Chains A and B, each alone.
Chain A
Amino acid sequence: MSTRYLPLYVTGALLSLLFGLGAIQFDGFGSMRVVLNLFSDNAFLMITAIGMTLVIISGGIDLSVGSVIALSGVLCGLLIGEYGWHPLAAFALILPLATLFGAIMGMWIHVYKLQPFIVTLAGMFFARGLATMLSEESIAIDHPFYDAVADFGFSLPGNAWLGTSTLLLLLVLVVAVLVMHYSRFGAYVYALGGNHQSAELMGVPVAKATIGIYATSSFLAALAGIVFTFYTFSGYALTAVGTELDAIAAVVIGGTLLTGGSGFVVGTILGVLMMGVIQTYIIFDGSLSSWWTKIVIGLLLFFFIVLQKLLNRGRVQHA
């Protein structure tokens, strides 16, 4: 068995174990409804985390995603709620703007040889600051389009509902998997994370790839921000504080190497599901307090990081 897939299997096994445990212990835990709720409640986080996976596989990090989600939400609120734009027109403005924002961060990282960590940290302050400046209060969004979005979906057996957010997430997932494994850009991402210098020598257009990676991450974060407004029907500058950490945690739990070069988008989805199942378990249990979520996620992170370390050591010895 290739060690490449091992973290993925471990995550999958732990996820099924925890889910099975919940299903045995609690009535209604092991239902289609709970599973689909996991997806719809975490759709925005999954979309963000898919972008984060790209960035981390390429050997970088993007701390700005939480703020971009908030900024995108506030812009939705302003354009649709205050100025009465059609939501689609608003989205058509917000998504390219966010992509440009990410591209600029990527450009700074590439051209000025700055660490992704500090550039995206500045980006995080900037986007959150812009969102706060635009509106300090939550702006309600009331538009027939949003009602239609909320109503759209398919009913599944087991009283489950496949809504717009989940469908959108699945679309993003499919495109991301195709791009990462069957396109030139995907190969660039893996090559950059494997070894930046060799990638450059092999003829990977590093500038284009780096800019593209951060642009994609910001695009997906803005999309996540839009999806977030689908639940809340509002835009607020203080939403999604700390989402970048959740996304990074999900990526790591999903088996992507934090040093870059190896990982899978599907693993990240499993990572988010894992965090979601832990939360659901704690809610079903009722006697456990919410802070256990943070501690358990911390322990899980630790477990996976050590696992990565061990696998990496094995790889070096084989080489």
Chain B
Amino acid sequence: MSQQPQSLSIVNKVDSPADEALIAARKARYSPGKSTNALGRYLWPVSALVLLLLVNLFMDASFFSISYQDGRLYGSLIDILNRSAPVALLAIGMSVVIATGGIDLSVGAVMAIAGAVCAGMLVGGNYSLFTVICAGLTVGIVAGLVNGGLVSFLGIQPIVATLLLMVAGRGVAQLINQGQIVTFQSDAFAFIGIGAFLGLPFPVWLVLITLLLSQLLLRRTALGLFIEAVGCNASASRYLGINDKGVKLFVYGLTGFCAAIAGMIATADIQGADGNNTGLWLELDAILAVVIGGAALSGGRFSLVLSVVGALIIQTLSTTIILSGLPAKFNLLIKASVVLIVLLLQSDVFRQHAQSVLKGLKGGKA
């Protein structure tokens, strides 16, 4: 019904908004003049990460040292990579959702559901590892598709649609195992969380593989551009012939998939599933990682690599706080301050203010 008036006006509208979307999407990615080109975009987050790492090195000279023992690497850097894996996975999915102008608050709850399903199957029945993993991934994708369906077909605001699963999902996760914290004995499944392959912890491999596959899928096909176009202007991209509903459905499905992997890592890590606490508040860290990576919450351009860098920054920050000897209770406050600074730097108004102040300073000197 709601489509009709729009398709009537397609004749005189088809030019401007459609072009606008494509141009905006292209501009967002390829604009040469502004600092939105690749180098400028990577400069800030990457140098922030390097700076943080250097601060750590300054406080602890052995920070960069990595040792090899019993077939795996040990060291602070490896530790940061390993610990940031769940958030990095969530951030990969979240950056695609945010690129369409959406948000997914339910990823923490989806982690809990996927973990609960896997743990329940490992304890309850004689399933092969392959079946268990497939079940976990399927549950994640289904949860994501539910979100996507609410957003694209019922037209519910993303923040609200995913709030539903955020609230109800924890209940579902508890329901699966009747409110018990299920622990299991499975070395094979535990490998997902604590194993090592070619020296690196297995979660790090999972992040790398997911990143590589998503990057291929999104950048070697037109899908990435479609996603950015939908994020810039959903109705305009529809006039272009992009199936915007399908695109939205896909991104939420992808996020659910990533959340399921993260949930399995968290579950395998402790060899148990706790419906109440698995992935609690990780959705916020994931959103934070994407924002630190420089993506605008209003949608448009995205970079999976930068979001992963954002996740690394968050983890390095926590490590820095511990190393600096500040009590862990400062953790949240510092994190909040970082968010505030990043937000300010992203605001056009603030940039203009800052620029005029800088100009004033230069003028004063000259």
Please give the residue numbers on chain A whose beta carbons come within 8 Å of chain B beta carbons, in ascending order.
61, 108, 111-115, 117-119, 121-123, 125-126, 128-130, 132-133, 136, 245, 248-249, 252, 258-259, 289-295, 297-299, 301-302, 305-306, 309, 313, 316-317
Which listed residue, A119, A128, A248, A295, touches B168 by the CB 8 Å rule? A295
CB neighbours (8 Å) of A126 from chain B are 332-333, 336-337, 340
Give the residues in chain B near A121, CB-CB below 8 Å: 284, 287, 339
Q: Which residue of A lies closest to B351 (CB)?
A: A112
**Complex-state Cα separation, A108 to B342, whole angstroms:** 13
Best-buried of A128, A136, A302 by chain B (most CB within 10 Å)? A302
Tell me if B154 counts as interface (CB < 8 A to partner A).
yes
Return B177 CB to nearest CB of chain A, in Å. Answer: 10
Instruction: Give the distance to chain A from B236, nearest Cβ to Cβ, in Å.
Output: 20
| Residue B159 at the chain A interface, CB threshold 8 Å | yes
16 CB-based A-B contacts, threshold 8 Å: A61-B159, A112-B350, A113-B348, A115-B298, A117-B297, A121-B339, A122-B343, A125-B284, A129-B330, A129-B331, A132-B332, A132-B333, A133-B333, A245-B166, A306-B156, A309-B154
Nearest CB to that of B156 among chain A residues?
A: A305
Indicate whether B160 reaches chain A with its CB closer than 8 angstroms.
yes
The secondary structure that dominates the B interface is helix
A129:B172 contact, CB within 8 angstroms: no
- Known contacts A112-B349, A258-B157, A291-B179; is A129 also within 8 Å of B171 by CB? no
Residues of chain A within 8 A of B340, CB atoms compared: 122, 126
Q: 4 more A-B contacts (CB under 8 A) besides A118-B339, A252-B160?
A: A111-B349, A245-B166, A294-B170, A298-B171
B163 is an interface residue with CB less than 8 A from chain A: yes
Contacting pair B155 A119 (CB below 8 A) = no
Option from B168, B174, B178, B179 in Cβ contact (under 8 Å) with A297 = B168
Closest chain-A Cβ to B145's Cβ sits at a distance in Å of 15
Q: Cβ of B332 and Cβ of A128 under 8 Å apart?
A: yes
**Which single residue of chain A is at the shortest CB-CB distance from B347?**
A112
Provide the residues of chain A in CB contact with B29, threshold 8 Å: none
Q: How far is the CA of A309 from the CA of B150 in the complex (A)?
A: 11
Q: Which of B284, B297, B329, B336 has the most CB of A within 10 A?
A: B336
| A299/B347 in contact, CB under 8 A | no
> Is the CB–CB distance between B168 and A299 below 8 Å?
yes
For residue B142, give the distance in angstroms from its CB to the closest CB of chain A: 16
CB-defined contacts of B161 to chain A, threshold 8 Å: 305
Q: Are B298 and A305 in contact (CB under 8 A)?
A: no
CB-nearest residue of chain B relative to A111? B349
Chain A's closest residue to B340 (CB) is: A122
Interface check B291, CB cutoff 8 A: yes
- Counting from the closest, the 3 A-B pairs by CB-CB distance are A298-B168, A294-B171, A129-B332
Q: A114-B343, A291-B175 are in contact. Are A129 and B336 (CB under 8 A)?
A: yes
Closest partner residue, chain A, to B176 (CB atom): A291
Which residues of the other chain, B, contact A132 by a CB distance below 8 angstroms?
329, 331-333
Q: Name A115's closest neighbour in chain B (CB-CB).
A: B297
Q: Given A125-B336, A294-B170, A299-B168, are A119 and B159 also a contact pair (CB < 8 Å)?
A: no
- Are B344 and A306 touching (Cβ within 8 A)? no
Interface residues of B (CB under 8 A from A): 1-2, 103, 154-157, 159-161, 163-172, 174-175, 178-179, 275, 284, 287, 291, 297-298, 329-337, 339-340, 343-344, 346-350
**A61 vs B275: C-alpha distance when bound (angstroms):** 27
List, in ascending order, chain B residues with CB within 8 A of A61's CB.
159
* A305 B330 Cβ-Cβ under 8 A: no
Closest Cβ–Cβ distance, residue B244 to chain A (whole Å): 18
Name the CB-closest residue of A to B348.
A113
Which residue from chain A places its CB closest to the CB of B155 in the assembled complex?
Answer: A309
**Chain B residue at minimum C-beta to C-beta distance from A248:** B163
What A residues does B155 contact at CB under 8 A? 309
Q: Which residues of B contact A316 (CB under 8 A)?
A: 2
Name the B residues within 8 Å of A299 (CB-CB): 168
Q: Using CB atoms, name the residue of chain B closest to A130.
A: B333
Interchain CB contact under 8 A, A295 and B349: no
Return B107 CB to nearest CB of chain A, in Å.
15
Find the A residue at minimum CB distance from B159. A117
Q: Which of B166, B175, B284, B287 contacts A295 (CB 8 A)?
A: B175
Tell me the smallest distance from the CB of B271 to a CB of chain A, in Å.
22
Complex CA gap A130/B340 in Å reads 14
State whether A309 and B168 are in contact (beta carbons under 8 Å apart), knowing that A114-B343, A125-B339 are contacts in the complex: no
Residues of A within 8 A of B339 (CB): 118, 121-122, 125
What chain B residues lie within 8 Å of A291 (beta carbons)? 170-171, 174-175, 179, 275
Whole-angstrom CA separation of A130 from B287 in the bound complex = 21
A259 contacts which chain B residues (CB < 8 A)? 157
Residues of A within 8 A of B167 (CB): 245, 249, 294, 297-298, 301
- Distance in angstroms between the alpha carbons of A214 and B263 in the assembled complex: 35
The answer to whether residues A295 and B347 also contact, given A61-B159, A125-B332, A258-B160 and a CB cut-off of 8 A, is: no
Q: How far is the CA of A309 from the CA of B103 in the complex (A)?
A: 19
| Alpha-carbon distance A123/B156, docked complex (angstroms) | 26
Q: Report A-chain residues with C-beta under 8 Å of the C-beta of B163.
A: 245, 248-249, 301
Q: Which A residues are CB-close (under 8 A) to B165?
A: 298
CB-nearest residue of chain B to A134: B329
A189 smallest CB distance to B (angstroms):
19
Select one of A258, A289, A301, A313 contacting B179, CB under 8 A: A289
Q: Closest B residue to A292 by CB, please name it.
A: B171
Residues of A contacting B332 with CB < 8 Å?
Answer: 125-126, 128-129, 132-133
Interface centre among A248, A289, A294, A302 (most CB of B within 10 A): A294
B171 engages A293 (CB within 8 Å) = yes
